[in-house]
Structure 1
Amino acid sequence: MVTVFIFIARAFISGAFQCAYVYTPEVYPTTLRAVGLGTASAMGRIGAISSPLVVQVLSSYWLALPIGIYSVAAFLGVFAAISLPIETKGRKMVVSKN
């Protein structure tokens, strides 16, 4: 049962990572889009690298520990998404004339 919860949590983390590719370019100004997307990508990759450590090593100490860590990461992601400054739905795209 724990394995099922871990895979479900990892699926949601992967889904949030894919949303970063869609939403990040809309939030940052044109001159900073690559930096914003790169930072979001780096954070996702750090999560992917640490995932085997969380599941394999920490579950040997306590089975609920990986689920707790994934839950905290998910709530931090939700908080970060809610804290984003703008909603771009229905807005006209602004093109810089440099």
Structure 2
Amino acid sequence: MAITPPQFLLHHDGDNVAVAMTDLQPGTLQGRSVKEGTESTAVLNHAIPLGHKFALADLAEGDSIIKYGIKVGLASAAIKKGDYIHTHNMRSYRWEASRA
């Protein structure tokens, strides 16, 4: 029996973003947590390019974006669960921290 590779990965359970493992189209997807191996599903609202992020939870402007179990960014606008996350709605935490 062939094993179907996940369409997205989250690095840790508790991350609020996941990464596309291929170019993805809107709809229901199957994914997996890298660290814990937990299987999950997500519903995409937008097409997501390979290697890019999408939200696993609703995020308000200023909320932390968690990937690898750490804060990697801040939402620069409200983001809905299933939305594409990129420079149009996220600021790098490293950049923000360097300005403090």
TM (norm. structure 1) is 0.25
Larger RCO (CA under 8 A, 6+ residues apart): 1
Name whichever structure is richer in helix by fraction. Answer: 1
